Structure 1
Amino acid sequence: MGKCLAGRAASMLTGEPMPVKKVEGDEITGGTLNQTGALVMEAVGVGGDTVLNRIVQMVADAQRSRAPIQKLVDVVARYFVPAVIVCSILAFIGWSVFGPQPQLAHAFVAAVAVLIIACPCALGLATPMSVMVGVGRGAKEGVLIKNAEVLEVMEKVDTIVVDKTGTLTQGRPEVTGVETFGHWNENDVLTLAAAVESQSEHPLAQAVVRRANADELQPVEASEFSSITGGGVQARVDDHDVLIGKADLLDEQGIEGVNAGREKAGSHQAEGATVVFVAIDNTLAAILAITDPIKQSTPAALKTLHELGLKVVMLTGDAEPTAKAVASRLGIDEFHAGVSPEEKHDFVRELKKEGKTVAMCGDGINDAPALAEANVGIAMGTGTGVAIESAGVTLVGSDLRGVAAAANLSRKTMSNIRQNLFFAFIYNALGIPVAAGLLYPFFGVLLSPMIAAAAMSFSSVSVIANALRLRVAKLT
């Protein structure tokens, strides 16, 4: 990790789908790509302080953490150990009074056999072994689990809330259509729009800049640039006042001709494109249709989530027609458009009040409040800082299949823990009576302490072997 002294860089670990501007004093991560200009770094974190090491440490901490189900084991152990001691004493007394000669020898053998076979090794290994193997299996698939509690809660999730850009889509939008109004032509509009958008870090802004560069338009300088949160941007270019953003923003600013733009925007939005309105000198000059292709893996991932019985809700800042087109194409259960980061947080809170167990998937930056509010936060991308701190699960890649893998992993791990606990309990339920001499009246068999020791070891081995099955569990 380093500190930026000058330049522009794009981090491979920020979780953002597009490059981000870096200025003096900003933190950057080793291994990232500098796309523009010179970059001078000062190393402020090496070795154990690096982001990669913190990710490794997070996996190790998760493997050592305790799942809430372990509390059940602790409660059982609290009563189990005294109960075993009582059983051993009763076995000793019973054989001393009613056993064959030599009575004390038989009584001693039975008492020791009970203590040995009831050693709660398997009970103690049942949960931590499954957690350790499960967390490691998730890391192998690029699913980083923060702690064992997340695994247990994730199993109970019934609603998945997802962002659109960078989660369902590739996060690299392109301008696919330009419709002009009045005396403006396509090249003039793109030249002015690119001049303004070049000063913005938004993915849609960069799409406009890329289109202008692809059309080999001459760049111009913008001045008096300002960003309107959740609305758009504005600046002055070549003596023109340029405003770019949503239709509602242009309405608020009193721009003429917005309704005409809305009429033409409908056809683009119906195909899933985001429409950006460009006003020049207080009059609508053009609309830009910007399409962010859906990831090839998204449909299959959503199918898996539905097969797991999960409801998928999409929250996006896009306009209603665009969101509806994407949701319809992907078969998403519910969608909400024009949603701000604050509204995402409130929406997740309302779902929880309704009794839902919610997992929120986002890029870990703007979605941080919702990630923190959800029962399980899933940071898409390899997020640092806010992403890792706000989310219980971090996906190394920005692929929705990681969400399905996390859901499958939690279910398989919790099922494996229950199997281990069953083995441990049923083993003791059968082993203790046999060790105490239950078979002797019928078959004349008294369990040797050596056989009891072997049986006790076998129970632990069976629990470990069952936990290791998670290493080859199919998650996607």
Structure 2
Amino acid sequence: MPADSQIIEGEGSFDESSITGESIPIHKSKNHNIYAGSINTTGYIKAQINTSPGNSVLDNIIKLIQQAQGKKPSIQNLADLISSYFVPVVLVIAAVTFIVWMLWGPQPQFNYALLTSISVLVIACPCAIGLATPTAITVGLGKTASNGILVKTPDVFENLGNNTDIVFDKTGTLTEGKFEVADFKFSGKKLEKQKVVSLIYALEKKSTHPIAESIVKFIEQEYDFDNLQDEIQDFKNIQGMGMKAKYNGKQLLIGNLEFLKQSGIDVGQDAYNLRNGGRTVVAFAYNDDVESLIVLEDKINEQSKELIEFVKSKGIKTWIASGDNDEVVQNVADRLGVDFAYSKMLPDQKYDKIAKLQKEGKKVMMVGDGINDSPSLTLADIGVAMGSGSDIALTSGDVVLLGNNVGKIKKLFEDGKKTLRVIYQNFFWAFLYNIILIPVAGGVIYPIWGVILNPLFAGLAMALSSISVVLNSLRLKIMK
């Protein structure tokens, strides 16, 4: 759809995944609103544009992204901050060294004063301090990339250590956004099981709906069936409800429970009970008798539970912010042990939730995919985009997980911790080197052993300190 509109005639199923992030097409008819960027997968509609240019839901999402980008903190470069104080201090030390040798040093005083002050300047060259961060970051970025994690901003490693909350989108992150058959029930009233399976397959094979595709795939993997597609007659697709047809003069109906109820068929209370926990139920009726109930649920990403357990063990609070309905979201939260769950959330509401957490002093990671998550990904202290997400989501995220594997966030935490540890080690050794060798270069050992450090050896020591920092950073490559 080119613009936000309202349907004034007809009906159809709309893929709004670019707006809501949810994969199931939504059936809409007269007086329903449709959004720019959504796709009419089936049906015919006539719609009237109800927003001015630049004010569509999609436009507002893009504006939120721009606002979030404006609030992004600049990367704090610790090495530059240290160097800004370190260099003047070293200059002062070198000057004091020169004066002390000129006043109290042995003859030739000027020569000793010049050699020692130059040695101080050479040995205190802040190369090791300057290399401490970039070498570790460079190797750390390469390490994470080899694990299928693209870190786009180096400050991610530092922010990981301060992370207090993680907000997950549901579909395509914690779940795969693909339906799987959880149960396939048969009543055996008039037909044997293979005949029921064959008729369901023949009907669902004629549909491109995600639920139909899941049922077809399940039957192909689990059951023997007959090819009855050519024997199905008078097939008709009922938008947003189901399908009906005839077989040997008998009526076939398949679809949601409301569809069968409207068709005058009593599916029974047990069928409605099967929907508990946010599951979807598809009923199949042959000649007004319910022959089968198919229970489907959005498949939980295999790595999700392990990830939730890992981040909770670190004291991090977990949230779900999803556009899906209450039952489905709460079901996923319960199955994974997520601390807080919010449903029916629009993009701006997700954005506001993260902004509120940040105002409370929380450091927030957002994990999501789809355009609807882009504002939140950009606003969050760390935005993690799934590799299967839309292009705008990938550009908004600080981190991109390739292969749509949310479990890689655990590896991100581990690699980030190792990288920070190496940076701090680099700083430690660089400072220890200066603390020990600057006094030596200044001549403190002269009264004891009668020697001073030659500037050539000072230069060698300075080079070795830089090499040690680089070698320590390279250890990240072999760390497990």
Which residue, 406, 426, 448 being the options, matches 1:420?
A: 426
Partner of 1:377: 383
Distance 1:69 1:473, change over 3 A: farther
Partner of 1:303: 309
Structure 1 residue 425, shift from structure 2 partner: 2.8
Matched, 1:116 2:122: yes
Q: Which amino acid aligns with 1:275?
A: T
Does the 8 Å CA contact 1:195/1:237 hold for their aligned counterparts? no
Partner of 1:433: 439
Partner of 1:275: 280
Matched, 1:194 2:239: no
Which residue, 98, 106, 109 being the options, matches 1:100?
A: 106
Which residue, 139, 142, 146 being the options, matches 2:145?
A: 139
Structure 1 residue 264, shift from structure 2 partner: 3.9
Distance 1:184 1:111, change over 3 A: farther
Does the 8 Å CA contact 1:89/1:111 hold for their aligned counterparts? yes
Which residue, 319, 335, 352 being the options, matches 2:341?
A: 335
Structure 1 residue 321, shift from structure 2 partner: 4.6
Matched, 1:81 2:87: yes
Structure 1 residue 352, shift from structure 2 partner: 2.7
User: For structure 1, which segment, 376-385 or 185-194, has the greater mean C-alpha deviation from structure 2 after superposition?
Assistant: 185-194
SS in 2 for 1:438: coil
Counterparts of 2:433 and 2:392 in 1: how far apart (Å)? Answer: 46
Does the 8 Å CA contact 2:22/2:323 hold for their aligned counterparts? no
Structure 1 residue 222, shift from structure 2 partner: 7.2
Counterparts of 1:152 and 1:290 in 2: how far apart (Å)? Answer: 42
Structure 1 residue 470, shift from structure 2 partner: 1.6
Q: Structure 2 length normalisation: TM-score?
A: 0.68
- Write the deviation string for residues 219-247 of structure 1: whole angstroms up to 9, x where unpaired: 57977876xxxxxx3577559999967x9
Partner of 2:64: none
Distance 1:409 1:316, change over 3 A: same
Matched, 1:399 2:405: yes
SS in 1 for 2:384: strand
Does the 8 Å CA contact 2:243/2:255 hold for their aligned counterparts? no
Partner of 2:158: 152
Q: Which amino acid aligns with 1:162?
A: F
Counterparts of 2:338 and 2:454 in 1: how far apart (Å)? Answer: 62
Partner of 1:58: none
Counterparts of 1:284 and 1:368 in 2: how far apart (Å)? Answer: 47
Partner of 1:41: none
Does the 8 Å CA contact 1:67/1:127 hold for their aligned counterparts? no
Does the 8 Å CA contact 1:222/1:235 hold for their aligned counterparts? no
Q: Which amino acid aligns with 2:454?
A: S
Q: Which amino acid aligns with 2:136?
A: S
Distance 1:86 1:473, change over 3 A: same
Q: Which amino acid aligns with 1:269?
A: N
Over alpha carbons, which structure has the higher Rg?
Answer: 2
Distance 1:262 1:342, change over 3 A: farther
Partner of 1:54: none
Counterparts of 2:235 and 2:373 in 1: how far apart (Å)? Answer: 30
Q: Which amino acid aligns with 1:427?
A: Y
Does the 8 Å CA contact 1:161/1:315 hold for their aligned counterparts? yes
Partner of 2:96: 90
Q: Which amino acid aligns with 1:363?
A: D
Does the 8 Å CA contact 1:175/1:208 hold for their aligned counterparts? yes
Does the 8 Å CA contact 1:193/1:244 hold for their aligned counterparts? no
SS in 2 for 1:104: helix
5+ residue gaps, structure 2, are: 1-20, 26-72
Structure 1 residue 277, shift from structure 2 partner: 6.2
Structure 1 residue 434, shift from structure 2 partner: 2.1
Does the 8 Å CA contact 1:383/1:394 hold for their aligned counterparts? no
Does the 8 Å CA contact 1:187/1:217 hold for their aligned counterparts? no
Q: Which amino acid aligns with 2:139?
A: V
1:174-193 equivalent positions in 2, closer than 5 A: 174-177=180-183, 190=200
- Write the deviation string for residues 18-50 of structure 1: whole angstroms up to 9, x where unpaired: 999xxxxxxxxxxxxxxxxxxxxxxxxxxxxxx
Q: Which amino acid aligns with 2:378?
A: A
User: For structure 1, which segment, 117-126 or 366-375, has the greater mean C-alpha deviation from structure 2 after superposition?
Assistant: 366-375
Q: Structure 1 length normalisation: TM-score?
A: 0.68
Q: How many pairs align?
A: 395
Does the 8 Å CA contact 1:166/1:363 hold for their aligned counterparts? yes
Counterparts of 1:152 and 1:205 in 2: how far apart (Å)? Answer: 46
Partner of 1:68: 75
SS in 2 for 1:291: strand
Partner of 1:206: 213
Q: Which amino acid aligns with 2:181?
A: V
- Write the deviation string for residues 368-421 of structure 1: whole angstroms up to 9, x where unpaired: 343233222212234462232121111112223211111222222223222222
Percent pairwise identity: 33
Does the 8 Å CA contact 2:164/2:316 hold for their aligned counterparts? yes
- Write the deviation string for residues 241-279 of structure 1: whole angstroms up to 9, x where unpaired: 99967x9xx69xx96999987764445534xx6224679
Q: Which amino acid aligns with 1:68?
A: I
Partner of 1:347: 353
Distance 1:329 1:225, change over 3 A: closer
Counterparts of 1:19 and 1:323 in 2: how far apart (Å)? Answer: 15
SS in 2 for 1:83: helix
SS in 1 for 2:307: helix
Backbone CA RMSD of aligned residues: 4.3
Structure 1 residue 96, shift from structure 2 partner: 1.5
Partner of 2:59: none
Structure 1 residue 447, shift from structure 2 partner: 1.8
Counterparts of 1:398 and 1:413 in 2: how far apart (Å)? Answer: 24
Matched, 1:128 2:138: no
User: For structure 1, which segment, 335-344 or 430-439, has the greater mean C-alpha deviation from structure 2 after superposition?
Assistant: 335-344
